[in-house]
Amino acid sequence: MNIDLSRVEVGELLISKKMLARTCDDLERYAEASGDLNPLHLDKEFAMKAGFEDRVVHGMLNMALLANLLTDNFAADDIVSYSARFEGVLLVNQETLDTVRLLERKKDSVVLELLSENSQSKSIIRGRAEIRLLPSQV
Amino acid sequence: MSLDKNNIGFSLPKFQVEVEAENLKNFNLSIGLPANKDSNVAPLTFMKVLEGQGNSSRVIMESLGAELHRILHAEQQFDYISPIVAGDVVTVERKVIDIYDKKNGELSFVVIESTFTSAVDNLLGRSRQIVLVRNKKK
């Protein structure tokens, strides 16, 4: 819990992290653990038939990796909600840059914007999370 | 052909699922979390895994007549009310709460909401998903 939300300004960048590319092995491990066996993520031919150049990384895997930035820095009990728009497709073996900014300050919570972009700065996920403030942070 | 709006309200029977410690551990590993880190508490995106263990979105979308290679996960939201932990028996109820078209019916959007309740009927959380269907041209 190394970010003091009482001191952060709206718009301020809180976290920036370069994320390693997800490999075919990562996708297979996630498919097995999550039960999402959609061939779009596992079968290159199927992915190409659906109009992509290669296997597509599970949106939910990207969303889970982005969520790790939240749970690394805030107490899980203080996280009220977390949402994501899957704005772009990330193919296997592509890196992302993941960032978290303060979007809005409410009475007893803050709203963070999470963004995951590929190496061409194209948005893959745009997410939001509401974090409850402690009485001392309001 | 866009999707039949009469399917708004469509649901499959609610189901119960036990949160198994082994599944949680494997899921944590698949999203890059160390196996020992709060491994008894479900991470932020785990509701998606639980809902898929009964009536998966794939089954729901196939019930609506959407072909698998035409669907994409567009948005996902989670609301957290009480932590879900290993050993919990969770009741999951899933329902199609909206269907709407964009681009003159080229695209359909299906909104699926899930609620998660504990064995003593306390609400643990909610998940809301928007699935995009790229419809066949007329």
Average pLDDT over residues B66-93: 95
Contact: B30, A38; criterion CB under 8 Å: no
- Size (chain A), residues: 138
Q: Answer positive or negative: Cα dihedral of B33, B36, B38, B42.
A: positive
Looking at residue B11, what DSSP letter applies? Answer: B
Average pLDDT over residues B34-58: 88
B5, pLDDT greater than 90? yes
What is the overall mean pLDDT for chain B? Answer: 93
Average pLDDT over residues B55-76: 91
B138, pLDDT greater than 80? no
Tell me the pTM: 0.94
Average pLDDT over residues B71-100: 96
Contact: B69, A30; criterion CB under 8 Å: no
Q: How far apart are the first and last CA of chain B?
A: 6
Contact: B80, A32; criterion CB under 8 Å: no
* Strand (E) or helix (H) holding A80: strand A79-86
**CA dist A29 → A38, A57, B27 (Å):** 13, 12, 9
Distance from CA of A26 to the nearest CA of B (A): 7
Q: Please count the CA atoms within 13 angstroms of the CA of B120 that sit on its side-chain side.
A: 1
CA dihedral A46, A49, A54, A59 (to 10 degrees): -70
| pLDDT score at A135 | 80
> How many inter-chain contacts (A to B, CB under 8 Å) are there?
89
What is the rounded distance in angstroms from the CA atom of residue B86 to the CA atom of residue B93? 20
From A45, which residue of chain B is nearest by alpha-carbon distance?
Answer: B69
Q: What 3-state DSSP class applies to A96?
A: strand
Confidence band for A134, pLDDT divided at 50, 70 and 90: confident
pLDDT above 70 coverage of chain A, percent: 99
The whole-angstrom distance between residue A25's C-alpha and the CA centroid of its chain comes to 19
pLDDT above 90 coverage of chain B, percent: 81
